[in-house]
Amino acid sequence: MDRLNGLLAFARTAEFGSFIAAGRALGISASAVGKSVARLEQELGVRLLQRSTRRIGLTEEGALFNERVRRILDDIDDAEAMLSRTREAPRGRLRVSTPIVTYHLLLPVLSQFMALYPEIELDLDFNDRIVDVIEEGIDVAIRSGELPDSRLVARPVVAFRMLLCAAPSYLDRHGTPGMPADLVGHFGINFRYLNSGRLLDWPFITGSTQPEIRSMLTCNNMEALKGATLAGLGIACMPDFLVREALDDGRLRVVLDDHVDGRGQFRMLWPSNRHLSPKVRVFVDFLSERFSGARQPVAAPNPG
């Protein structure tokens, strides 16, 4: 900061030819201006100003230095103006990491966001791995489950429910279970988490008997899980928003809903030690307003 103050003091003195006028422009005393310039000359080891009782002029070295200093100060002014414009209108590339399955939620609303903020370039990374938001330079990550990193700020965005579903063709062949114990003899389609390799637990209400169900298929992609369920291969556990249309048109049915407590929550995450930039702020606010409170988890239709 002292170096910058010295450059400013020198540039204004060179411009006005006077410590008094330079001090008036900078809002400091003429003595302070003179001392700043003297310290700068001492650091550089060269005399920049030719002082006399009548006026102050530039030495040959000072004239050359002044040209460079003016360009530096102009660049600083331009950078400050750019930041000021950025505060007024959010712009730039916005990197968002989000689970693959969330495209069902995001894509229908993003056209509205892009219309509101045409100068923001969305860079969406749909993947199921746990990214390091800070190390990978992610602006916003959307994830479910517990907050993975104390260095991150979290805001809830979408509530959902996990449902046990099967195709009518499967239930016609194997019967519709009325109790968890009835799952014995049924075929399950399991989801495996990409990072940990563990299987998704079916969220039966605490105290319910956890039946052993034969695994027909295991995959690490929810879309594949849904496809296998639609094909009648077995019973699977999936989020409500993924199967909403298939439930509405009868291609899938919910089973054992009274015995399942599958409430979940997606959260938006961003680094706590970063200033919330305009592009991040408007994205977080937009999704919060679009989803929070306005969308409740789907109510499971009567399986009969």
CATH number reported for the structural domain that contains residue 60 in this entry: 1.10.10.10
Q: How many domains does the chain have?
A: 2
Report pLDDT for 296: 41
Cα–Cα distances in Å, from 251 out to 218, 224, 229, 279?
A: 21, 16, 10, 40
Q: What is the mean pLDDT of residues 49-69?
A: 87
Domain that holds residue 293: 91-298
pTM: 0.63
Give the H or E element holding residue 8. helix 2-16
Report pLDDT for 162: 93
d(CA 178, CA 290): 37
Report pLDDT for 213: 83
pLDDT in tens, 252-263: 999 999 898 888
Q: Are residue 166 and residue 285 in the same domain, yes or no? A: yes
Q: Are residue 163 and residue 193 in the same domain, yes or no? A: yes
Report pLDDT for 75: 82
Last residue of a domain, one of 30, 53, 88: 88
Cα–Cα distances in Å, from 181 out to 171, 184, 242?
A: 16, 6, 26
Please name the residues in contact with 202: beta carbons below 8 A apart, sequence gap of 6 or more: 164, 237, 260
Asked, for residue 228, whether it belongs to a domain, the answer is yes
Report pLDDT for 118: 93
d(CA 124, CA 98): 7
d(CA 270, CA 112): 22
Q: Are residue 49 and residue 146 in the same domain, yes or no? A: no
| CA quadruple 58, 64, 65, 71: dihedral, nearest 10 | 120
Report pLDDT for 71: 85
DSSP bridge partners of 154: 269
Percent of the chain at pLDDT exceeding 90: 40
Q: Which of 30, 31, 41 is nearest to 7 (CA)?
A: 41
Report pLDDT for 198: 86
- CATH of residue 109's domain is 3.40.190.290
Q: Are residue 152 and residue 15 in the same domain, yes or no? A: no
Asked, for residue 216, whether it belongs to a domain, the answer is yes
Q: Are residue 185 and residue 257 in the same domain, yes or no? A: yes
DSSP 3-state of 280: helix
Q: What is the mean pLDDT of residues 30-48?
A: 91
Report pLDDT for 150: 65
Asked, for residue 176, whether it belongs to a domain, the answer is yes
Per-residue confidence at 154, pLDDT binned at 50, 70, 90? confident
Q: Are residue 62 and residue 194 in the same domain, yes or no? A: no
Asked, for residue 66, whether it belongs to a domain, the answer is yes
**DSSP-derived secondary structure for 186-249:** -EEEEEB-TTT-PBPPP-BPTTS-----EEEEEES-HHHHHHHHHTTS-EEEEEHHHHHHHHHT
Q: 69 with 95: CB under 8 angstroms?
A: no
Asked, for residue 304, whether it belongs to a domain, the answer is no
pLDDT in tens, 205-259: 866 666 778 888 999 999 999 999 999 999 999 999 999 999 999 999 999 998 9
Q: Are residue 221 and residue 151 in the same domain, yes or no? A: yes
Q: Which of 87, 97, 157 is nearest to 122 (CA)?
A: 97
Longest dimension (CA), the chain: 106
DSSP bridge partners of 192: 199
d(CA 23, CA 31): 8
Q: What is the mean pLDDT of residues 188-194?
A: 90
Asked, for residue 303, whether it belongs to a domain, the answer is no
Report pLDDT for 207: 61
Asked, for residue 138, whether it belongs to a domain, the answer is yes
Last residue of a domain, one of 88, 109, 128: 88
Last residue of a domain, one of 60, 88, 116: 88
Q: Are residue 102 and residue 207 in the same domain, yes or no? A: yes
Report pLDDT for 240: 94
Most trustworthy range by pLDDT among 69-83, 113-127, 137-151, 275-289? 113-127
Percent of the chain at pLDDT exceeding 70: 88
| Burial class of residue 235, CB neighbours in 10 A (0-12, 13-18, 19+) | buried
Model confidence at 301: pLDDT above 50: no
Q: Are residue 14 and residue 156 in the same domain, yes or no? A: no
**Mean confidence (pLDDT) of the chain:** 85
- Does 176 or 71 have the greater pLDDT score? 176
pLDDT in tens, 68-116: 888 888 888 777 766 766 666 788 999 999 998 898 889 999 999 999 9
Q: Are residue 141 and residue 157 in the same domain, yes or no? A: yes
Among 15-24, 89-98, 146-155, 253-262, the range scoring the smallest mean pLDDT is 146-155
Per-residue confidence at 275, pLDDT binned at 50, 70, 90? low
d(CA 138, CA 145): 19
Say which DSSP state 75 is in. H
Q: Are residue 131 and residue 272 in the same domain, yes or no? A: yes
Q: What is the mean pLDDT of residues 20-32?
A: 90
Q: Are residue 189 and residue 268 in the same domain, yes or no? A: yes
Q: What is the mean pLDDT of residues 182-194?
A: 90
Asked, for residue 147, whether it belongs to a domain, the answer is yes
Per-residue confidence at 295, pLDDT binned at 50, 70, 90? very low
Decide the pairing of beta strands 152-166 and 263-271. antiparallel
Report pLDDT for 168: 97
